[in-house]
Structure 1
Amino acid sequence: MNISGNTIFIPGSTSGIGLALALELQARGNTVVVGGRRAELLERIAAEHPGIDTVQIDTTDAASIDFAAKEVLAKHPDLNVLVTMAGIMRIEDWHEPESFLASAESVVTTNVLGPIRLIAAFIEHLQAQPDATIVTVSSGLAFAPLKVTPSYNASKAAIHMLSESIRLQLADTTVKIVELEPPAVRTSLLPGQENSEFAMPLDEFVAEVVALLESQPDAKEIQVERVKFLRYGEARGDYDQVVATLNASDPHGK
């Protein structure tokens, strides 16, 4: 995708990677619409960052997605980039169903059904644009599992394969599919992660992502250097070592 001149909608971007990326993309000459559930956060973002548009959206709710999509497209008929950023991560114990079932259902609804419903809401519009991009967000954990987050790992593996598949289907359209694959980043995705030495500083991650988008406009996957240890373990032949190292070094994996 081109790094500037776009109109971009990023649902799930009132904090963390989503907000940091939204601000950096705005600074690069894009019109950016931030989406989220909490009206007070959206109001604060609009007040603190002039030029950023906002829309209320709950990506776990199909009706909310449809309503927000209509609102965004009415205000921004030139929208050409959708970033399916919204996601949650939960620590789970799969020894007993009462310990994990509700969590797993919530993770799958947010991380898998959410992006699917978002793409469904915007795909006809995006195909009518001369140049459009859908940015999906998987994870290094799509390729090597953290033992305490089974549903999250599985949801991000699903997003990886979904991205691969719809890229093939949409090859005859103007819509490109770009998969963003973060490593652990210092955000509040899990309690304490924003201060974890294991996680990559947020500003460093976003700077490297934007640099990759700029230098590799035709990239199918956006991978900062720190995620490649996880992404390519199987290809290198050291998958078992990668999994062991991941679960030994990350404080949530102990």
Structure 2
Amino acid sequence: MKLQNNTILITGGTSGLGYEFASKLLTLGNTVIITGRNLAKLNEMREKLPGIHTFQSDVSDPEAIIQLYTDVTTQFPTLNMLINNAGEMRTISLNDPSTNLTDITREVEINLMGPIRMVQQFLPHLKKQSNAAILNVTSGIALMPFPISPIYGATKSGLRSYTKSLRVQLKNTGVKVFELVAPGSSTPLNDQFMNVDGFDPKMMMDPGKLIDTAIKGLENDNFEIYPGLAKMIKIMSRLAPAFLLKQAGKVGAKIMENEE
């Protein structure tokens, strides 16, 4: 895929992988639009990245997605690429009896329903463009359970399955469908694990290098992109899934074993 002179919309673009995507794609000569829930952070991004375009929007809100579509396609009718990056990851003990039945599925609304709704809303527009693409950011955890973050893992597995189906259904259109299977990286999403028992920060990949790999994958039409340790996780998930689960279960074991 050609990665110059595109108009690209990135959800969750104020930090982490979204910020790295925005910065690097802007440098390549693209028109880059980012979304986020926090207006102050969006304003900071405009100072950090001159030329960036921002919209305050929440991917967990269907009405906000409809409004975002209207605003973006009106102001940027050449929009031809959507990167579904917004996400939330929490440590959750399923043994906690105080867990709220609404709150427990918050990650489903953001990580899974958000991308599905974004694609459904923007797809008719993307089909009209040349060199169009959708990139869904999943995770190495889509290939294996991560017990300390059970809902996050379920959403990423679901998004991976959805992305594969989407690619099949769009094979006769001009819209390419990519998946970035992102390994753990040094971003705010993973900062919460720094002091968790069993967590090794040395396993985290530099986010800049991760996105460099993603961009090369997009340019080479690698529809499933596996940076860093994601390649190893892919292999191990087939050869030794029980071993992977055992190792993943050591992270935050004390949190997960809380008694009712």
Structure 1 length-normalised TM: 0.91
Instruction: Classify 1:145/1:100 alpha carbon distance in 2 versus 1 (closer, same or farther; 3 Å).
Output: farther
Count of residue pairs brought into register by the alignment: 249
Which has the larger helix fraction?
Answer: 1
- How far did 1:97 drift? 5.0
For 2:120, the equivalent position in structure 1 comes to: 120
For 1:201, the equivalent position in structure 2 comes to: 206
Q: How far does the alpha carbon of each residue in 1:116-171 deviate from its partner, in whole angstroms, 9 at most, with x for none?
A: 11111101000111221010111100111111111101000000000000111111
- How far did 1:253 drift? 5.7
- How far did 1:52 drift? 0.8
For 1:240, the equivalent position in structure 2 comes to: 242
- How far did 1:178 drift? 0.2
**Could you tell me whether the CA contact under 8 Å between 2:141 and 2:156 is conserved in 1?**
yes
Q: 5 Å matches for 1:162-201?
A: 162-193=162-193, 196-201=201-206
Q: After alignment, is 223-232 or 191-200 more displaced? A: 191-200
- How far did 1:252 drift? 4.1
- How far did 1:193 drift? 4.8
Counterpart code for 2:7 = T
* SS of structure 2 residue aligned to 1:22: helix
Gaps of 5+ in 2: 196-200, 255-260
Q: 5 Å matches for 1:145-160?
A: 145-160=145-160
For 2:257, the equivalent position in structure 1 comes to: none
Query: Which residue, 182, 206, 216 being the options, matches 1:211?
Result: 216
Tell me how far apart the structure 2 counterparts of residues 240 and 2 of structure 1 sit (CA, whole Å): 40
Tell me how far apart the structure 2 counterparts of residues 178 and 213 of structure 1 sit (CA, whole Å): 8
Tell me how far apart the structure 2 counterparts of residues 100 and 46 of structure 1 sit (CA, whole Å): 37
Give identity over the alignment, percent: 32
- How far did 1:40 drift? 1.5
The alignment yields a C-alpha RMSD, in angstroms, of 1.8
Tell me how far apart the structure 1 counterparts of residues 170 and 108 of structure 2 sit (CA, whole Å): 24
- How far did 1:53 drift? 0.8
Instruction: Classify 1:97/1:111 alpha carbon distance in 2 versus 1 (closer, same or farther; 3 Å).
Output: farther
**Could you tell me whether the CA contact under 8 Å between 1:183 and 1:227 is conserved in 2?**
yes
- How far did 1:204 drift? 2.1
Tell me how far apart the structure 1 counterparts of residues 210 and 103 of structure 2 sit (CA, whole Å): 28
For 1:38, the equivalent position in structure 2 comes to: 38
Tell me how far apart the structure 1 counterparts of residues 51 and 166 of structure 2 sit (CA, whole Å): 32
Structure 2 length-normalised TM: 0.89
For 2:258, the equivalent position in structure 1 comes to: none
Instruction: Classify 1:3/1:85 alpha carbon distance in 2 versus 1 (closer, same or farther; 3 Å).
Output: same
**Could you tell me whether the CA contact under 8 Å between 1:7 and 1:32 is conserved in 2?**
yes
For 1:7, the equivalent position in structure 2 comes to: 7
* SS of structure 2 residue aligned to 1:79: coil
Instruction: Classify 1:227/1:100 alpha carbon distance in 2 versus 1 (closer, same or farther; 3 Å).
Output: farther
**Could you tell me whether the CA contact under 8 Å between 2:178 and 2:218 is conserved in 1?**
no
Gaps of 5+ in 1: none
Instruction: Classify 1:68/1:59 alpha carbon distance in 2 versus 1 (closer, same or farther; 3 Å).
Output: same
Q: How far does the alpha carbon of each residue in 1:44-103 deviate from its partner, in whole angstroms, 9 at most, with x for none?
A: 211221111111111111111111111111111000000011110011111245336444
Tell me how far apart the structure 2 counterparts of residues 179 and 113 of structure 1 sit (CA, whole Å): 16
Tell me how far apart the structure 2 counterparts of residues 162 and 4 of structure 1 sit (CA, whole Å): 28
